[in-house]
Amino acid sequence: MEDLDEPRCNRAAGHAILASLARFGLVPDEPVIWQSERTQFYRAALDRLIADGRAYPCACTRSQLAVAPCPCRHLNPQPHAWRFRSPDAVDDAILLRADGYFAYQLAVVVDDHLQNITHVVRGDDLLDATPGQIALQQALGYATPVYHHIPVVRDANGDKLSKQTRAAAIDEMPTELALAHAFFHLGLPPLEITPRWPAWAVPAWSSRRI
């Protein structure tokens, strides 16, 4: 559960997401882990990158970064936030934010490694983040999973359906209707929806149908 951004996320919101998934028959096969409880792992990874010279302090404010790229790679300012010293100097992602929260980019790489994730299937909205994650894995000596990105659902303006674009909550639609829409989007055959639907949907799924 990606709940690192604590001012915006909270435990109740996470449980509401899990309850929604369960209503659609999607239940985890291992206990859910919460990123907000794992900062010691992210701290250890960051400390290793700092010790190896693969992270550098950044003192830029958000408004400075809005008008110019971060110059801190060459300045060595007082620590404020920490950035990854990427091999190409292009993907110098923030690792620890100035407000003290670890960044998604570091947390997801550490979590995938500690959970022995071998295959990642996710939305194409994260495609741009993937090269930076692979560079971080290499800097930390982690194996790189196989990545596969599929198109996310977008509205008529091309924006990803999300709270920010005022998309209706999925809970507002009857479960079977919502699943029927999802199956159509994924190119799955319109089979009868029973609580056992994942048993037929998993073997029927193919990225070529999308």
> To the nearest whole angstrom, how small is the minimum distance from the Cβ of residue 90 to Zn ion?
14
Alpha helix ranges (H) inside the chain: 11-23, 39-51, 62-67, 104-114, 130-140, 175-185, 197-204
As a whole number of Å, the end-to-end CA separation of the chain is 26
- Cβ proximity to Zn ion, 60 vs 109, nearer residue: 60
- Cβ proximity to Zn ion, 14 vs 57, nearer residue: 57
> To the nearest whole angstrom, how small is the minimum distance from the Cβ of residue 50 to Zn ion?
15
Residue partners of 51: CB distance under 8 A and separation at least 6: none
- Cβ proximity to Zn ion, 94 vs 109, nearer residue: 94
* C-beta neighbour count of 5 within 10 angstroms: 15
Residues that bind Zn ion (CB under 5 A): 58, 60, 70, 72
Three-state SS for 95? Answer: strand
> To the nearest whole angstrom, how small is the minimum distance from the Cβ of residue 78 to Zn ion?
11
According to DSSP, the β-strands at 55-58 and 94-96 are unpaired
Residue 122, beta-bridge partner list: 149
- Cβ proximity to Zn ion, 78 vs 164, nearer residue: 78
Residue partners of 118: CB distance under 8 A and separation at least 6: 145, 146
> To the nearest whole angstrom, how small is the minimum distance from the Cβ of residue 137 to Zn ion?
23
- Cβ proximity to Zn ion, 80 vs 149, nearer residue: 80
Quote the CA–CA distance of 168 and 178 in Å, as a whole number.
12
> To the nearest whole angstrom, how small is the minimum distance from the Cβ of residue 59 to Zn ion?
6
